[in-house]
Amino acid sequence: MADSLHAQLLSLAHHVRDPQRFAPPPGIEARRLAVYRQLFFGNVEGLLAGGFPVLRASLGDTQWPGLVRAFYAGHPCRTPLFTELAGEFVAFLEAVGGDGLGLPWLAELAHYEWVESALLLSDLQEPEHDPAGDLRDGVPLLSALAWPLAYAWPVSEIAPGCLPTHELEQPTLLLARRGADQQVHFSRLAPLAHALLASLQARECSGLQHVQLLAEAIGVDVETLLPQGLALLESLRKQGVVIGTRLQR
């Protein structure tokens, strides 16, 4: 009995997700199946439209439903939580890309829109730290709610009627941060600031070592870059992007 019920439910789920590939289970009238299909797809489409308003508007009524249907039918979601559906959609777009639709910026725009909701819903806690720690010799810590971002496309400028055709010569460098007002703020970053934040995100070492790594990467003497790098760290601390230094054990 249990095996039979499981098989029937699985057959129903396959049909509701992808009625073009999977036949309906026996014993359920077509009218009821149509209600199930419309209800489930409508819920998913509505949630995604709310989470990706620019993407939805840019694709319009022709391309957007097809994209959602492809995700709905083919993406193996790993979570039952509706709050994580947007992240699954981004993962799907990153896997399939947008070249097939002639929209190579698709995944990056989706990621850019997802970041806002991800930061708003994040329950990440700041690690223990010394807010007044020495940023030169201590280990500077990036706030868990401050994310440096880099995109090949001008994601912050994409809109219906303003769709890019070529990647930028220089990447779009941004900082997304949830502030004390519980709102997510985006700001442009200079290349040095982005490189420093990306370094803080990738490794734990002293501020001096971070600047040394950056100096090596751009081919300048560390003593030339050090004053600017330390001043930038202090500025980031005042903004709450750098929360201080790691506590000494």
The pLDDT tens digits along the chain (249 residues) read 456 666 766 766 666 677 777 777 777 777 877 777 788 888 889 999 999 999 999 999 989 999 999 998 888 887 778 889 999 999 999 998 877 778 999 999 999 999 999 999 999 999 899 999 999 999 999 999 999 999 999 999 999 989 998 888 999 999 999 998 999 999 999 999 999 999 999 999 999 999 999 999 999 999 999 999 999 999 999 999 999 999 976
Contact by Cβ (8 Å): 191, 207 = no
Q: What is the pLDDT of residue 197?
A: 98
| Residue 76 and residue 184 in one domain | no
Please identify, among 73, 92, 121, the residue that sits at the C-terminal boundary of a domain. Answer: 121
| Residue 81 and residue 152 in one domain | no
CA distance 225 to 199: 15
Please identify, among 77, 93, 121, the residue that sits at the C-terminal boundary of a domain. Answer: 121
| Residue 78 and residue 137 in one domain | no
| Residue 117 and residue 134 in one domain | no
Q: Which domain holds residue 150?
A: 129-246
| Residue 135 and residue 242 in one domain | yes
Please identify, among 102, 121, 140, the residue that sits at the C-terminal boundary of a domain. Answer: 121
Helix/strand/coil (H/E/C) assignment for every residue in 15-53: HHHCCCCCCCCCCCCHHHHHHHHHHHHHHHHHHHHHHCH
- Global model pTM greater than 0.95: no
Tokens of 45: 């489409």
| Residue 174 and residue 203 in one domain | yes
Q: How many domains does the chain have?
A: 2
3-state secondary structure of 63: helix
| Residue 144 and residue 217 in one domain | yes
> Which amino acid, residue 54?
V
| Residue 100 and residue 145 in one domain | no
CB atoms within 10 A of CB 147: 19
Contact by Cβ (8 Å): 246, 141 = yes
| Residue 197 and residue 162 in one domain | yes
- Domain of 199: which CATH number? 3.90.930
